[in-house]
């Protein structure tokens, strides 16, 4: 049986990681799930560039302020607030698109050892949808991965490939110097003060418009330009998300910063 992967810095949602094994998990099954309790209270979800055009219809797309920023979808403007997921983990009817980062849980590809060359399919053993249950879809058949496990592996491989494209996109974005600190001020009717959101990055539209011809041609050819505009267009949804927070009784306190 393979040893467990490094767990010192687990990604968002994951409490632990265990490699999926035909020996250790031969009788394990995957229960169908209509809820995502692990998303409750999480407002910023990592994105890949493959998802920009889908996400920008319902959620703002911004970038973190880390040394190595990543794109995130905002499912709420305030920490602990998610307007698309109820307290019981059910998605709202108007969610539209669920980011792949959410859909891959409780599985992910990870290195079993720091020096490993290949990624192995792992899962979070604390989840309640994988186990030696009577009901559910078997993860192994006759000691071999079942069709559902094969499909899960393919999905995670596709996700990793999209992650690599996202890393390249972010590297180009940094080299072009297009990111700037973001700020959104929302003045609702009847409020004495505006609600100001910071703590994220966005594309500087002026710098984008001032790119040299060779730079512009490069981002046109590599498909980067429509992704930048998908991000910029999505920012108008900030006020819509704010309105959803208000209608759901999740009114934020003025002058709170967006925590990413």
pLDDT tens digits for range 16-28 = 999 999 999 999 9
Across all residues in the chain, what is the average pLDDT?
91
What are the φ/ψ torsions at residue 88 (nearest 5 degrees)? -90, 0
For the record, the structure tokens of 227 come out as 């992704």
Rounded Cα distance between 47 and 227, Å, is 12
> Residue 2's pLDDT band (boundaries 50, 70, 90)?
very low
- From the centroid of its chain, how far is CA 145? 27
Query: Does an H or E element contain 233, and which?
Result: helix 224-234
pLDDT 10s digits, 112-128? 887 878 999 999 999 99
In Å, how far from its chain's centre is CA 242?
20
Q: What are the boundaries of each domain within the chain?
A: 18-247
Q: How far apart are CA 22 and CA 19, in angstroms?
A: 10
Cβ–Cβ under 8 Å, residues 119 and 112: no
* Higher per-residue pLDDT: 34 or 204: 204
Mind listing the pLDDT tens digit for each residue in 201-250?
999 999 999 999 999 999 999 999 999 999 999 999 999 999 999 999 98
């Amino acid at each position: 049986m393979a040893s467990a992967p490094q767990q010192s810095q687990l990604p968002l949602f994951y409490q632990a990681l265990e490699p999926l094994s035909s020996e250790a998990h031969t009788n394990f099954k995957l229960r169908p799930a209509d809820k995502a309790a692990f998303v409750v209270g999480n407002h910023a979800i990592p994105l890949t560039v493959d998802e920009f055009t889908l996400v920008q219809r319902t959620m703002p797309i911004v970038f973190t302020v880390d040394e190595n920023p990543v794109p995130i979808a905002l499912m709420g403007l305030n920490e602990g607030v998610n307007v698309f997921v109820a307290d019981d983990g059910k998605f709202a009817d108007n969610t539209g698109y669920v980011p792949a980062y959410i859909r891959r849980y409780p599985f992910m590809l990870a290195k079993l050892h720091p020096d490993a060359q290949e990624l192995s399919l792992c899962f979070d053993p604390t989840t309640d949808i994988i186990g030696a249950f009577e009901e559910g879809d078997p993860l192994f058949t006759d000691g071999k991965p079942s069709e559902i496990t094969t499909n899960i592996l393919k999905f995670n491989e596709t996700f990793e490939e999209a992650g690599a494209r996202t890393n390249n996109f972010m590297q180009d974005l940094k080299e072009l110097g297009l990111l700037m600190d973001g700020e959104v001020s929302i003045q609702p009717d009847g409020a004495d003060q505006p609600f100001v959101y910071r703590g994220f990055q966005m594309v500087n539209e002026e710098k984008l418009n001032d790119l040299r011809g060779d730079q512009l041609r490069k981002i046109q050819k590599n498909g980067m330009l429509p992704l930048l505009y998908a991000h910029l267009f999505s920012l108008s949804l900030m006020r819509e998300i704010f309105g959803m927070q208000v209608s759901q009784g999740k009114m934020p306190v003025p002058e709170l910063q967006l925590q990413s």
